[in-house]
Amino acid sequence: MGQGALVSALGPAAVRCSGSLPEIGPTNRDELVLASGLRYRVLVCEGDRISSGARGDLRFGSNNDFIAFFAGPDADRALLWVNHEMPCGLFDGERVFWIPRTRTEFERSRASVGGSCIAIERESSGQWSLAANYDQNFRLDAASPITLSRPIGGTTKAEGTLGNCAGGVTPWGTLLTCEENHLYYFGDTRWSGGRREVFYEPRDHKRLDWHRFRANNPDHYGWVVEVNLETGVAQKQIALGRCFHECATVAPARDRSGRVAVYSGDDTIGGCIYKFLSRDANSLAEGELYAANTRTGRWELLDVARPELREFNTQLNVLIHARQAALLAGATPQDRPEDIELDPSDGSVYISLTNNTRREPPNYHGSILKLIEAGGDPLALQFTTRTFFTGGEKFSCPDNMAFDPRGNLWLASDISEHDRETAPYQSFGNNGLFYIPLHGPDSGAVFQMGSAPNDAEFTGLRFAPDGRTLFLSVQHPGARTRSKSNPTSRWPDGDFPRSAVVTIGGPTLDALAAV
């Protein structure tokens, strides 16, 4: 099935009820399976043309992730920003995963990452589709010129953005896109013995080896990139530090000063949780960067003036090597901190900790951490934490989250396609979409509302303001494919697998999320 597929077509055996809400059980079907009363429609796929005007022949990138919704001047038009995390693509009839073999493949890989800005409009049926007028659409990719807010390596000019995972939106209307697994492209650097060292990870399935084609400065990647969607101008905000940024979730100060807190997780085993506090109103150019010590409930300042951090010599070195600085400052290593979302009712901070199979005992299934700032103030330097949910029963490996307009939590899981069919993950089936009501008689229960196609994960959960549409990325279906003649998934159109953004709606979503 493709566009408009209904779960009812799967038959009643695929749907069951828990409490008062419909849900599905785990499934290994190569389809986007949804609970009763939900339907999906493909909005845009990897490789689709999104502009052919003055900006050139622009194509939607690969492995779409984070989605941001920007309402237009009327309720029936909007802009979507969509991240493109990894450069998997179809090159000359064959899928190339990670490592480009030729310069042509390298150039195509660079063009497939970054992000897309696309105009959408609401049809008379209430469904969203790509707008006929493509003038506002544009792409940023790994070749786009992007400025650095502070000079690094003697320049404020960087080439492109890459590894774009999750992100955020500022109160002043700009988009934040985060560079996550940057070391796989041009290597990485670390601070050792008072100096900077460049290193490369041992070859594995994630190493891209882009340095074989271009010798870009590794320190130009791993940042939060701020994008003005009206002008297309982008800048890497150095004050927020450099790591595997999973997201950049913005909380306005309660004193209405225009200052903000920006929360971010470092998506690696032993990564830390960060908070940036802006110094000025409506700006991320200056401020203080902190990392969370969840043992003491304190935000630890990452400042070169601290005795533990003086070895970095300059504040810029602290920011470039924020991961090392955070651990030296006493921040707590976490089990892969990924998405961070704010409870709209009280500002509580929800943090996905996906898993950690390297610790003893292994944490296979992850958890959701709830962080409450002192006095409910995003600018506070003290907090309390508790485990909100522990994975292992209804879901495993929590990743992306979103609150719907009614204040209930939606969650997507991220079990690796390489682990999904082995213990202890095989009972969960394909990666899922889950609904966790935080109010009413079902409060605290977990309902599985969707299942992804083979090898895929759901990412980028974003609700339209009225709650009647959930925009969702279906990322890397068929990720284990190595030959066009034998793909491990044929979603979405029965041929070769492609990542896509879908819209989800229907009476069940109206009943759960619409306002």
Q: 142-174: string of b/e by CB count within 10 Å (b at 16+)?
A: bebebebbbebeeeeebbbbbbbbbbbbbeeeb
- Residue 444 maps to a domain: yes
| pLDDT at site 7 | 31
182 falls within a domain: no
Establish if 185 belongs to a structural domain: no
In terms of residues, how long is the chain? 515
- Are 309 and 302 in contact by the 8 Å Cβ rule? The answer is yes
Within-domain flag for 465: yes
Report if residue 120 sits inside a domain.
no
Residue whose C-alpha is closest to residue 417's, from 497, 500, 504: 497
How many C-beta neighbours within 10 Å does residue 205 have? 9
Q: Which of 98, 62, 94, 105 is nearest to 483 (CA)?
A: 94
Question: Tokens representing 99?
Answer: 């490592």
Distance (Å, rounded) from C-alpha 384 to C-alpha 371? 6
Give the residue numbers spanning the domain of 490.
1-39+391-515
Count H helices, E strands: the chain? 5, 37
In a domain, 473, yes or no: yes
Model pLDDT for residues 233-249, shown as the tens digit of each residue: 999 999 999 999 999 99
Full strand arrangement of the beta sheet holding 273-278: 249-252, 260-265, 273-278, 287-293, 298-301
The H or E element that residue 155 is part of is strand 155-159
pLDDT value, residue 470: 98
Global model pTM greater than 0.85? yes
Cβ pair 218, 200 in contact under 8 A: no
Cβ atoms 116, 81 nearer than 8 A: yes
Buried b (16+ CB within 10 A) or exposed e, 483-502: eeeebbbbbbeeebbbbbbb
DSSP H or E run through 186: helix 183-186
- Residue 446 in domain: yes
Query: Going residue by residue through the chain (515 aa), what tens digit of pLDDT does each one get?
Result: 333 332 322 332 233 334 568 999 999 999 999 999 999 999 999 999 998 777 778 999 999 999 999 999 899 999 999 999 998 755 444 555 557 888 888 998 999 999 999 999 999 999 999 997 778 899 999 999 999 999 999 999 999 999 999 999 999 999 999 999 999 999 999 999 999 999 987 766 567 889 989 999 999 999 999 999 999 999 999 999 999 999 999 999 999 999 999 999 999 999 999 999 999 999 999 999 999 999 999 999 999 999 999 999 999 999 999 999 999 999 999 999 999 999 999 999 999 999 999 999 999 999 999 999 999 999 999 999 999 999 999 999 999 999 999 999 999 999 999 899 999 999 999 999 999 999 888 999 999 999 999 999 999 999 999 999 999 999 999 988 877 788 899 999 998 899 999 999 999 999 999 99
Nearest to 433 by CA among 465, 401, 462, 464: 401
Count of structural domains, the chain: 1
**Nearest CA among 368, 385, 378, 285 for reference residue 332:** 385
Residue 492 lies in a domain: yes
Q: With H, G, I as helix, E, B as strand and everything else as coil, classify residue 54.
A: coil
Backbone angles phi, psi at 216, to 5 degrees: -75, 155
Angle at 468 between CA 463 and CA 471, to 5 degrees: 35
Closest CA to 142 of 63, 86, 82: 86
